[in-house]
Structure 1
């Protein structure tokens, strides 16, 4: 994690290292759940410290925000363009990597401006919830 932080021009503090490790393990996580996990490892860490670090990690483009209808903002390590598959019943979030370049090229024919970001959430009911 230290190398990753340094690659983004950020100091590798113990808090940032644990925050990134927990986000990596969770895949997608909101600040409150992240705070609980970090507190287990660094008990003196405050919620304000989590917010401050998450904000700086987002500003540096190391983390991206995930907005899911009806839920708190979640965060993930930037993985490039991908689609989120979200179960409408249990809330499970999976990443689906697809040819985003194809999407950008397709929509660029309809949009004169350069596309700067592609995000997509697909809501469905996962196999665990169907059974």
Structure 2
């Protein structure tokens, strides 16, 4: 599975768009590299430790701006939660029902499924989002993985 673009490329893209590299914006991006699929609230919680006067609006608007630029994907769920990840090649997610962690999963056949939908049934697929739900290996083994409210990337 491809990795997201590196930090320097993200910062350069912001500069190309005429956006200032404020310490708060840089910190949001840094946290996205460090955390595994965080919510905006998790990013804000960590941001407020380093920047006590940062507002939730700053975090939300930065995430929206990164999403609008195609740097970040927003994963929304039926419970109205949103998780964010740096954009990378299409991939699936495994959602652990025990610890709540979201893992990136490389599924090579997703492109084949997309092709079959188009060629056999006529659908024009613009975007694929494949989600699996169950128990991760650490939870299945009775481990402590994923018990923190903010987890680092795997």
Same fold (TM over 0.5): yes
Per-residue deviation, 1:62:
0.5
* Structure 2: distance between partners of 1:114 and 1:6: 33
**Does 2:16 correspond to 1:7?**
no
Per-residue deviation, 1:115:
1.4
* Structure 2: distance between partners of 1:91 and 1:106: 32
* Structure 1: distance between partners of 2:55 and 2:97: 32
Stretches (4+) displaced over 6 A: none
Per-residue deviation, 1:2:
4.6
1:2 touches 1:17 (CA, 8 Å); kept in 2?
no
Per-residue deviation, 1:113:
4.6
Q: Tell which deviates more after alignment, 112-121 or 77-86.
A: 112-121
What TM-score results when the alignment is normalised by the length of structure 1?
0.87
Higher relative contact order (CA 8 A, sep 6+): 2
Q: Which runs of 5+ in 2 are unaligned?
A: 1-6, 143-154
**Does 2:111 correspond to 1:101?**
yes
Q: Which runs of 5+ in 1 are unaligned?
A: none
In the other structure, the counterpart of 1:82 is 91
Q: Aligned pair in 2 of structure 1 residues 110, 14: CA closer, same or farther (>3 Å)?
A: farther
* Structure 2: distance between partners of 1:83 and 1:25: 19
C-alpha RMSD of the superposition? 1.9
* Structure 2: distance between partners of 1:69 and 1:113: 24
Per-residue deviation, 1:129:
2.4
How many corresponding residue pairs? 131
* Structure 1: distance between partners of 2:73 and 2:104: 13
> SS state of the match for residue 81, structure 2?
coil
* Structure 2: distance between partners of 1:18 and 1:59: 18
Per-residue deviation, 1:13:
2.3
Per-residue deviation, 1:120:
1.1
